[in-house]
Amino acid sequence: MSETKSDSSNAGQAAPETHGFQAEVKQLLQLMIHSMYSNKEVFLRELISNASDALDTLRFEGIKNDKLYEDDPDPKIWIETDKDAGTLTVGDNGIGMTREEAMERIGTIAKSGTQAFLNSLTGEEKKDAQLIGQFGVGFYSSFIVADRVTVETRRGGETTGVRWESDGGGEYTLEEIDKPRRGTEVTLHLREGEEEFLEHQRLRHMVTTYSDHVAFPILMQEEQQPESSNDANDTEEEETPEPELVWKQVNRGAPLWTQPKSQISDEDYIEFYKHTCHDFEAPLTWTHNKVEGSQEYTSLLYIPRRAPFDLFDPQSKQHGVKLYVQRVFIMDDSEKLMPRYMRFVKGIIDSNDLPLNVSREILQSNKALEKIRSGSVKKVLGLLESMAHDDERADDYATFWNEFGQVLKEGIVEDSENRDKIAGLCRFRTTVDESDPGVSLDTYIGRMAEGQDKIYYITADTIAEAKHSPHLEIFKKKNIEVLLLTDRVDEWVMAHLTEYEGKEFSSVAKGALDLGDAETEEEKQQQEKLEQESKDLCERIKNALGDRVNEVRVTHRLTDSPACLVADESGMSAHLERILKEAGQTMPNQTPHLEINPTHPLVEKLASEEAEDSVESFSQLLFEQAILAEGGELDDPATFVSRMNQMLLAVSKGAA
């Protein structure tokens, strides 16, 4: 539709023409303004992006026609405010627009001049174009904070300019004006309550957040105290002169990651990390990569030296890896770019062609994003592997593991594709190296005992509890190394990590123990003999304990302790059960197996008892001791103490 209205207020000049938008878009425009953008401050990002595109377009067209530069060859973007008028202006000396272009590009929603220009490029020109805005709706985000927007523009090489103005209500006015400077100035008449966008510090923060790496200088006026003109011999004091307004660049300009790696020093990388990630310490390491081919993106990813305080806070929204598209910041939602188990990674990913929705705030679910995410994960894992396998960087990897090891372990559950790589990066305390979590699974396998075909582990709350567990006695006797797992995530992780390099994982506290070839034929025969001889004793203890145990059997595990509790092979360990109860989970009743050591003096004493009351008391005492030995809690501590006192009294009387 199109209609024209006259305005006779400008005598002697051509009256401004009023045109309807080229579609019935009033409702669409209002919906887009108030619904599409979740963060209203992005309007400045959009206007700066448009200005950057105009400067890029001038650069390309100026190659063939240098007259377009006129007498103003230095590209720039500027931001001005007028607190009295309540206006904010974003200007540039880019290519500008003619009257027809203003009608076509601003008067038609989603008609992008940048996209049209891109379509006109071919070959290397298109490859080199660094144009940002390809959606055609960013300009209208201005109406989030403004109730009226004025655009004054003149295309390079033209003699007259044009003023476009609208209140976002469905119509706009267009008139020719005199405009000495080439380019475009967008003036926002801010709504009541939006005065914060007239404050210098607020605007500067928005520029450094969203547009810090736009390739062209972004200028703002800052107050500067002029130098005093007083001579040294002057004795009369003069009034302090009023501060002057001077233009200063507020963005950093060309981003570090776009430069060739050969031209970037380690100091440059470290300084960029400190500035971007707000860390006062240098990172442990980093990786800088440029991917070309079917899709193009650059990544600069860092591993910090220290974990943030909220690393394990489930309510914390991690802001690790920032997404840029054509050097314009889009978001810092790490989970869109990195899996949660890599939430410690910091840095940037800058894509040339990542599809976004029209607000540029929400990533569309697509294969391009999946490839970027997958490729970035592999780069980080490769970076960690190179650090882990470099003897000269052993201390750095130890620092990484101490800070982020628990988080990386989560990847064994979350990332089945890279499970083996992550497992290879894990470090453990063991019964051989109990004080240092520096044993890899490859090291463990390399020093397995003769005849050992499984990777043994035990879970516990503390190292002391783990290494003193009665379940380890046979392993210590046979010099079989056992992993000591004390992190809260370990039970969850080991439920998914069933084997590594063909070696099965086996909990020393679950199921019937089978040492395979690590046990001699003589030992197997001795074990069978003990089982046969202890059948009646096991039955008597089972009758005494009743439903408290699943079964009573002769142990393979114990050499020094009288008894221990063992969970089913596919059941829940006592340690995991305690963790879940502490978290408020209601647990089904699980009855463990009680394993007894018939060669222990207490068990021998029990076997010699004839009175059923004594057998029951002894059996209950053995069972409750086994609970305490693995870090559990008794349901009735007072009764346990009473039984223990009775036994001590009986022993003391016997000794007397």
Angle between helices 535-545 and 521-533 (to 10 degrees): 60
Residue 43 CA: distances (Å) to CA of 88, 300, 355, 453: 11, 27, 20, 63
Determine the pLDDT at residue 315. 66
User: Within 13 Å, how many C-alpha atoms sit on residue 116's CB side?
Assistant: 9
> Which residues face 171 on adjacent strands?
20
Closest CA to 253 of 291, 193, 212, 282: 212
Confidence of residue 568 (pLDDT cuts 50, 70, 90): confident
Angle between helices 612-629 and 637-655 (to 10 degrees): 120
Confidence of residue 111 (pLDDT cuts 50, 70, 90): very low
Asked if 537 and 530 touch (Cβ cutoff 8 Å), the reply is no
Confidence of residue 254 (pLDDT cuts 50, 70, 90): confident
Q: Tens digit of pLDDT for each residue in 372-393?
A: 889 999 999 999 999 999 999 9
Q: Hey, is 637 helix, strand or coil? A: helix
Confidence of residue 631 (pLDDT cuts 50, 70, 90): confident
Determine the pLDDT at residue 118. 52
Q: Which range (300-309, 353-362, 618-627) has the least confidence?
A: 353-362
Per-domain residue ranges for the chain?
17-224, 256-392, 427-518, 531-567+584-655
Alpha-carbon span 384 to 399, nearest angstrom: 12
Q: In what order do the strands lie in the sheet with 454-459?
A: 429-430, 482-485, 454-459, 503-507, 499-500
Q: Is the pLDDT of residue 288 over 70?
A: yes
Say what the pTM is.
Answer: 0.71
Alpha-carbon span 307 to 401, nearest angstrom: 11
Q: Tens digit of pLDDT for each residue in 313-330?
A: 766 666 689 888 877 777
Asked if 212 and 57 touch (Cβ cutoff 8 Å), the reply is no
Determine the pLDDT at residue 108. 62
Domain 427-518 classification at class level: alpha beta
Determine the pLDDT at residue 5. 47
Alpha-carbon span 168 to 26, nearest angstrom: 7
Determine the pLDDT at residue 148. 93
**Residue 36 per-residue DSSP state:** I
Alpha-carbon span 411 to 416, nearest angstrom: 8
Closest CA to 388 of 429, 344, 428, 426: 426
Asked if 156 and 95 touch (Cβ cutoff 8 Å), the reply is yes
Alpha-carbon span 154 to 160, nearest angstrom: 6
Determine the pLDDT at residue 189. 97
Alpha-carbon span 74 to 53, nearest angstrom: 15
Contacts of 75 (CB under 8 A, 6+ apart): 55, 58, 59, 92, 93, 94, 216, 217
Q: Tens digit of pLDDT for each residue in 468-513?
A: 899 999 999 889 999 999 998 898 899 899 999 999 999 998 888 8
Does domain 256-392 match CATH 3.30.230.80? yes
User: Within 13 Å, how many C-alpha atoms sit on residue 522's CB side?
Assistant: 0
Average pLDDT over residues 597-622: 88
Q: Which range (313-322, 611-620, 642-651) has the least confidence?
A: 313-322
CATH superfamily ID and name for 531-567+584-655: Heat shock protein 90, C-terminal domain (1.20.120.790)
Asked if 460 and 431 touch (Cβ cutoff 8 Å), the reply is no
Q: Tens digit of pLDDT for each residue in 197-240?
A: 999 999 999 998 888 888 899 999 987 777 665 555 555 556 66
Strands (E), 542-592: 552-554, 563-566
Average pLDDT over residues 624-640: 86
Determine the pLDDT at residue 499. 94
Confidence of residue 612 (pLDDT cuts 50, 70, 90): confident
Alpha-carbon span 414 to 496, nearest angstrom: 10
Read out DSSP for 299-344?
A: EEEEE-SS--TTTT-TT-----EEEEETTEEEE--HHHHS-GGGTT
What percent of the chain has a predicted confidence (pLDDT) above 70? 82
Site of tokens 């750095």 = 396
Asked if 46 and 138 touch (Cβ cutoff 8 Å), the reply is yes
Give the helix/strand (H/E) hosting 176: strand 171-177
Buried residues in 80-103 as b, exposed as e (16+ CB within 10 A): bbeeeebbbbbbbbbbbbbbebbb
Q: Tens digit of pLDDT for each residue in 428-441?
A: 999 998 877 889 99
Q: Which range (443-447, 476-480, 509-513, 622-626) has the least confidence?
A: 509-513
Alpha-carbon span 368 to 614, nearest angstrom: 73
> Which residues face 299 on adjacent strands?
289, 349
17-224 CATH: 3.30.565.10
Asked if 281 and 271 touch (Cβ cutoff 8 Å), the reply is no
Q: Tens digit of pLDDT for each residue in 398-416?
A: 999 999 999 999 999 999 9
Q: Which range (12-16, 257-261, 520-524) has the least confidence?
A: 12-16
> Which residues face 455 on adjacent strands?
505
Q: Tens digit of pLDDT for each residue in 55-93?
A: 988 988 888 888 999 988 899 999 999 999 999 999 999
Average pLDDT over residues 298-323: 82
Determine the pLDDT at residue 445. 95
Asked whether the CA dihedral 371, 375, 377, 378 is positive or negative, the reply is positive
Alpha-carbon span 273 to 303, nearest angstrom: 10
What percent of the chain has a predicted confidence (pLDDT) above 90? 40
Alpha-carbon span 48 to 79, nearest angstrom: 9
Residue type, 322: K
Alpha-carbon span 418 to 411, nearest angstrom: 8
Q: How far is CA 498 from the centre of its chain?
A: 27
